[in-house]
Amino acid sequence: MIRFSPLARSARAALLSIPAALGLVSFALAQPFDAADLDVARELREQALASDLAYEITADLTTRVGNRLAGSENDARAVEWAVEMFESMGFDRVWTEPATFPYWTRETERVSIVAPTEQELVAIALGFSPATPDGGVEAEVVMFDDLDDFEAASPDSVEGRIVFIRSRMERARDGSGYGPAVQKRARGSVVGAEKGAAAVVIRSVGTSTDRFAHTGMMRFTAGSRLVPAAAISNPDADQLERLMTGDAAVRMRVEIEASVNETYTSRNVIAQIDGAADPESIDAPIVAIGAHLDSWDVGTGALDDAAGVGIVTAAARLIMEHADEHGARPDRSIQVILFAAEEIGLWGGRAWADAHGDEVERYLVASESDFGAGRIYAMTARVADEAMPVIEAIQAELAPLGVESVERGGGAGPDFTPMLARGLAAVRLRQDGSKYFDYHHTENDTLDKVDPEAMKQNVAAFAVFTWLAAQSPVGFGSGPELLD
Amino acid sequence: MIRFSPLARSARAALLSIPAALGLVSFALAQPFDAADLDVARELREQALASDLAYEITADLTTRVGNRLAGSENDARAVEWAVEMFESMGFDRVWTEPATFPYWTRETERVSIVAPTEQELVAIALGFSPATPDGGVEAEVVMFDDLDDFEAASPDSVEGRIVFIRSRMERARDGSGYGPAVQKRARGSVVGAEKGAAAVVIRSVGTSTDRFAHTGMMRFTAGSRLVPAAAISNPDADQLERLMTGDAAVRMRVEIEASVNETYTSRNVIAQIDGAADPESIDAPIVAIGAHLDSWDVGTGALDDAAGVGIVTAAARLIMEHADEHGARPDRSIQVILFAAEEIGLWGGRAWADAHGDEVERYLVASESDFGAGRIYAMTARVADEAMPVIEAIQAELAPLGVESVERGGGAGPDFTPMLARGLAAVRLRQDGSKYFDYHHTENDTLDKVDPEAMKQNVAAFAVFTWLAAQSPVGFGSGPELLD
């Protein structure tokens, strides 16, 4: 059953690179996969498009566990749920690995306009915001267009005041509006502390015009001074802007009860399909697909990232079922890794990279699903040159699903980032995120926001990618040389 | 300037009814309006479509006052706002009239699933819900398909339990899904008390799949026993349904702090454009358009009903401006009536009917805007037979705005209902309410939900209707005989 030993793989890679080096044919003309493997890929694609499994997994996690903030009681419940789920599915191996981190507990938050009239706003404290003093802070509001504008302000104009940063996020299929918009969330509190602000209130990072406030982590280093920080929903930010352009001074009150806690140890939960190559060997190669198990503490983390849990688990399960029925095990092992504590600082991904960093070459390639359940429309690959024919051949099998193109670069998803720094080869199946930031990190991220049909397409793409990656005649270049 | 005295009006009405009675021509062939009046109607229509006034009024009320629950401090602020707004616009007369009612104050509400896992739900207490005992009530949940199912249940299956009623509202352009769906909100608490339930929790009456809970009044008579009652959002109701279909018993906790208070006196705020007919005369006829000034205490009551306030005020203001510029006063007086305390029991409308019931004949016809700001697509008329040619002629002038048809029957809007019982002639400009119940009575009813372009169309329709009604050669039949 072993069709490509590591040795054979290297030999084929060398062969494949010759025509390209001579400029005789493009990479895309080579078909690196065996016909039998392509047949399996196509069967998996069709089976995935007919399967509700990912949705069922997503529904089960979000219904039976609900939200699952890292360090909370539900974090432990989610780990238990994941282990039971993997075991019930009959994966060859299921285990957990520790991830230890400081955690944060939200009690309450309340943000109100108190002058010129009293108005309660829809608000949410940002992750790791310090609490306000008892009774909250009340002060005049000073408004800035964006973080740059705030950073340029003289401390005199800010000191003792509540800072409001009003910049908006732009909607985009690839979610590219998030990066610029999230700066004020990441840095507002630190800048506020530097300038002596009483608190920082930001317009939610998010594209919804519904009245949901968007939480998420702040970026700071140990020992950074922070001021209490919260986001208000887009309609509330609009309201505040209108009041700020009036004649009367606007005053607000911010009350946050929250605490940063000593360390908690959660678990990355891992399931493996043993490959046909000796799975006991320390060198047995692995294709890794992942998602994160934790969520924010509002909503039920359906899109972020129960959907990813459903998608990668269902893809692996379909491959396993196919193997069981046809006796066709994948050549390489496949791991499904459900990471802990992604939201509050990639702690699961960091622990995994720490534990497995010296095995980076074993991890042929990795890909995470952590962008909701929108349809996949493109792929990116951060792989060695010699793997590009394989990547292009995979994309060709994904094209019937609407995966239109492949570009080099990109990553493997947030939780693989720490391992990316060690040279992990990475593929990303890029999802349509046009609506993702309508729900992401809000109370409104619930199961009904998952499109079951788009989810099937995601499973199909992951199943095809994962299967073919496990059958690839060449490696993808994981290792320090990929960093060059 | 007086073109139609009440006498002349009657004479023309008699004339107009002759051909119809003889069956010689249909009503629709008669053009009852003077060409000059039609010209004004068409000018008003164009001016309204170019005016932002209604939106500006809506923005000002919702921004400067915010929500305005009857009996709250903001109720008084809204009355003050309305008087100032009308006076600043130069209406001929501005005054207020009292409306007295018991009122209700919401403090907090919290509804949680406590078993099989702890999950906080998005919930809102229903209007006039009693408080729960300290610490709330916690009990096993029993689920019913709808109010009928609940009413048919034996008290044994309900006693001491928390009742969950899961029926959904259907989306419809004319809002017709609301009536059937609202029964569980209106009656659930009373039925719960009869059967000994600990509390009643309903799926929100509303069409949004976002996580907003929908409040609103319960229907009961003085002395009715009630149990604490709350609505949960549609996604939360879905979640609860999924848990209820599992193996484990589901328990919930309901905590509501709220109080019913002694009477408060708010004010209907009324502005008048004096008609060309002697406005001092006790018999001077009036066309009344209205909206309600109060709102629920969540959101800013933008669609319900600041939009209506903006629409009818802007329509009257445009007529007044036109009169000032061209010296063409309307024949009849026009009143804009902003009613108090609609949400908690039509108290403003009742007070107005009590105060003016014996003048019903003076009120030629009335129409309220209280269904958001969706485009008007049809009209209804509850008028005397002889007024139908006028109604059809008005509809013909509204047709270029997309007002496609007119039907007999209907009402004038909720606040005119008490006066309808005395024979008030009524017209309703029917708005597209497809999205209205996505926002209605929720935290998410905010200014950004108002479509400024659709609002202009509403103003145009109200301006044309109001102007032509004031110029009508016939009355609309207001009076006890309309009840026959």
Least reliable range by pLDDT among A67-81, A280-294, A397-411, B283-297: A280-294
Local confidence band at B22 (pLDDT 50, 70, 90 cut-offs): very low
Q: Specify burial of residue A359 (Cβ count, 10 A radius: 0-12, 13-18, 19+).
A: middle
Dmax of chain A from CA atoms? 78
**Does A13 have pLDDT greater than 50?**
no
The closest CB to that of B64, out of A117, A209, A211, belongs to A117
Residues A332-355: tens digit of each pLDDT: 999 999 999 999 999 999 999 999
Q: Does the structure show a pLDDT above 60 at B147?
A: yes
Span A273-291, pLDDT tens digits: 999 877 777 778 999 999 9
Q: Which residues contact A245 (CB under 8 A, 6 or more apart)?
A: none
* Among chain A residues, CA nearest to B66: A119
**Dihedral (CA of A352, A358, A364, A365) sign:** positive
pLDDT above 60: residue B179: yes
ipTM of predicted assembly, 2 dp: 0.90
Tokens standing for B5?
């005295």
Distance in Å, alpha carbon of B235 to nearest chain A alpha carbon = 7
Q: Does any CB of chain A come closer than 8 Å to the CB of residue B59? A: yes
pLDDT value at B3 more than 60: no
DSSP code of residue B218: -
The count of other CB atoms within 10 Å of the CB of residue A421 is 12
Rounded to whole angstroms, the Cα distance separating A40 from A134 reads: 63
pLDDT in tens, B342-355: 999 999 999 999 99
Query: Cβ of B446 and A65 within 8 Å?
Result: no
Tokens for B103, please give them.
């009122």
Contact across the interface for A299 and B242, Cβ inside 8 Å = no
Backbone angles phi, psi at A174, to 5 degrees: -90, 5
The tens digit of pLDDT for each residue in A449-464 reads 999 999 999 999 999 9
Closest Cβ opposite residue B243 in set A63, A67, A73 = A63
User: 282-311 in A: which are within 8 Å (CB) of B?
Assistant: 299-300
Residue B2 CB neighbour total at 10 angstroms: 11
Contact A235 B448 (CB under 8 A): yes
Determine the Cα angle at A249 with ends A245 and A252, to 5°.
100
- Partner-chain residue, chosen from B77, B118, B234, that has the shortest CB–CB distance to A117: B77
Query: A299–B211: do the CB atoms touch at under 8 Å?
Result: yes
- Name the nearest CA neighbour of A92 among A282, A358, A285, A329: A329
Indicate the SS3 state at residue A464. Answer: helix
Q: What six digits make up the tokens of A74?
A: 């539900």
Closest chain B C-alpha to A65 CA, distance in angstroms? 7
A209/B448 CB distance under 8 A? yes
- Cβ contact, residue pair B59, A210, below 8 Å: no
Contact residues, chain B, for A65 at CB < 8 Å: 117
Beta carbons of B447 and A239 less than 8 Å apart: yes
* Nearest-CB residue to A211 (from B67, B242, B443): B443
> Chain-centre distance of CA B13, in angstroms?
32
B211 touches chain A (CB under 8 A): yes
Residues of B in contact with A122 (CB under 8 A): 443
φ/ψ of residue A445, rounded to 5: -85, 85
Residues 6+ apart with CB under 8 A from B322: B40, B43, B44, B47, B328
Distance (Å) from the alpha carbon of B266 to chain A's nearest alpha carbon: 19
Please list every residue in chain A whose beta carbon sits closer than 8 Å to the beta carbon of residue B111.
Answer: none
The mean pLDDT of A411-418, rounded to a whole number, is 98
Tell whether B225 is within 8 A of chain A (Cβ): no
- What pLDDT does residue A281 have? 77
- State the nearest Cα–Cα gap between B443 and chain A, in angstroms: 7
For the cut 90, the answer to whether the pLDDT of residue B27 exceeds it is no
Burial class (CB in 10 A: 0-12, 13-18, 19+), B219: middle
CB proximity B243 to A under 8 Å: yes
A452 HSE (CA, 13 A, CB side): 9
Mean pLDDT score, A294-315: 98
What is the rounded average pLDDT of the residues A122-138? 97
Residue A3: the pLDDT is: 27
The structure's pTM equals 0.91
Q: Mutate which of B72, B244, B446, B449 to disrupt the A interface (most A C-beta within 10 Å)? A: B446
> Å from B127 to nearest chain A CA?
19
- With a pLDDT cut of 90, the percent of chain B lying above it is 89
Least Cα separation, residue B174 to chain A (angstroms): 23
Q: How far apart are CA B360 and CA B423, in angstroms?
A: 7
Contact B111, B201 (CB under 8 A): yes
What's the pLDDT score for residue A29?
52
Interface touch B74/A242, C-beta < 8 Å: no
Smallest Cβ–Cβ distance between A66 and the set B59, B119, B246 belongs to: B119
For residue B243, list chain A residues with Cβ-Cβ distance below 8 A: 63-64
Burial zone of B481 (CB within 10 Å; 0-12 exposed, 13-18 middle, 19+ buried): exposed
Query: Cα separation of A97 and B378, whole Å?
Result: 65
pLDDT at residue A87 in the model: 98
Identify all chain A residues contacting B65, using CB atoms and an 8 Å cutoff.
117
Out of A250-254, A274-278, B283-287, pick the least confident: A274-278
- Arithmetic mean of pLDDT over chain A: 93
CA triplet A411, A417, A423: central angle to 5 degrees? 75
| Residue in chain B nearest A113 by alpha carbon | B66
Q: Which domains, and CATH codes, for chain B? A: 6-92+274-483 (3.40.630.10), 105-258 (3.50.30.30)
pLDDT at B29: 52
A235/B444 Cβ within 8 A:
yes
**What are φ and ψ of residue B250, in 5° steps?**
-105, 130
User: Does A23 score more than 70 pLDDT?
Assistant: no
Can you tell me the distance from the alpha carbon of A284 to that of A273, in angstroms, rounded to the nearest whole number?
A: 12
Residue of A58, A435, A446 to mutate, interface with B, max B Cβ within 10 Å: A446
Task: Return the CA Rg of chain B.
Answer: 24
Number of neighbouring beta carbons within 10 Å of residue B133: 10
User: From the CA of A399, how many Å to the nearest CA of chain B?
Assistant: 33
Task: Indicate whether B364 pLDDT > 70.
Answer: yes
Secondary structure of B225-256 as H, E, C letters: CCCCEEEECHHHHHHHHHHHCCCCCCEEEEEE
Estimate the crossing angle of helix A452-471 against helix A307-326, to 10 degrees: 50
Q: Which residue in the set A64, A117, A443 is minimally distant from B65, CB to CB? A: A117
Q: How far apart are CA B479 and CA A318, in angstroms?
A: 74
B269 forms bridges with which residues in the sheet? B96, B338
Distance CA B215, CA B218 (A): 9
Q: Using CB atoms, which residue from B62, B239, B444 is nearest to A63?
A: B239
Of the candidate ranges A208-212, A226-230, A273-277, B160-164, the one whose mean pLDDT is the lowest: A273-277
> Quick one: pLDDT at residue A383?
98
Count CB pairs under 8 A between chains A and B: 86
Subunit contact B242:A59, Cβ cutoff 8 A: yes
What does the DSSP 8-state code read for residue B482? Answer: G
Task: Note whether A116 contacts B64, CB cutoff 8 Å.
Answer: yes
Mean pLDDT of chain B: 93
More confident: B328 or B79: B79
Dihedral angle, C-alpha A267, A307, A171, A124, nearest 10 °: -50
Chain B residues with CB under 8 Å of A446 CB are 211, 235, 238-239
Is the Cβ pair B211, A443 closer than 8 Å? yes
What are the backbone angles phi and psi of residue B339, rounded to the nearest 5°?
-85, 150
Structure tokens, A156: 């005199």
| Token reading at A141 | 């509001």
Amino acid at residue number A286: I
- Give CA–CA dist A65/A80, Å, rounded: 10
Q: In this predicted structure, what is the pLDDT of residue A128?
A: 97
Per-residue three-class SS string for A404-455 = CCEEECCCCCHHHHHHHCCCCCEEEEEECCCCHHHHCCCCCCCHHHCCHHHH
Tens digit of each residue's pLDDT (9 = 90 or more) over B74-90: 999 999 999 999 999 99
Give me the pLDDT at residue A5, please: 27
Other CB atoms within a 10 A radius of the CB of residue B152 amount to 8
Residue-wise pLDDT for A218-238, tens only, equals 999 988 999 999 999 999 999
Torsion of CA A217, A218, A220, A223, to 10 degrees: -90
Closest CA in chain B for residue A77: B117
Whether a cis peptide bond, with omega within 30° of 0, leads into A156 is no
pLDDT higher at B117 or B100: B100
Q: Residue A448, exposed/middle/buried by CB under 10 A (0-12, 13-18, 19+)?
A: middle
Residue A446: which of B59, B211, B246 has the nearest Cβ? B211
Say if residue B18's pLDDT is above 60.
no
**Alpha carbon distance A320, A309 (integer Å):** 16
Residue A239 to residue B212, Cβ atoms within 8 A? no
pLDDT band at A9 (very low <50, low <70, confident <90, very high): very low
- Both tokens of residue A472? 């690839």
A116 in B contact zone (CB under 8 Å): yes
Note whether A63 contacts B: Cβ–Cβ < 8 A.
yes
Interface test with A, best of B204, B211, B214, B234 (most A CBs within 10 A): B211
Residue A11: pLDDT band (50, 70, 90) is very low
Residues 6+ apart with CB under 8 A from A39: none
Q: Is the pLDDT of residue B10 over 70?
A: no
Measure A121 CA to nearest chain B CA, in Å.
Answer: 9
B385 CB-near residues (< 8 Å, 6+ apart): B17, B20, B477
Residues 65-104 of B with CB under 8 A from A: 65-67, 73-74, 77
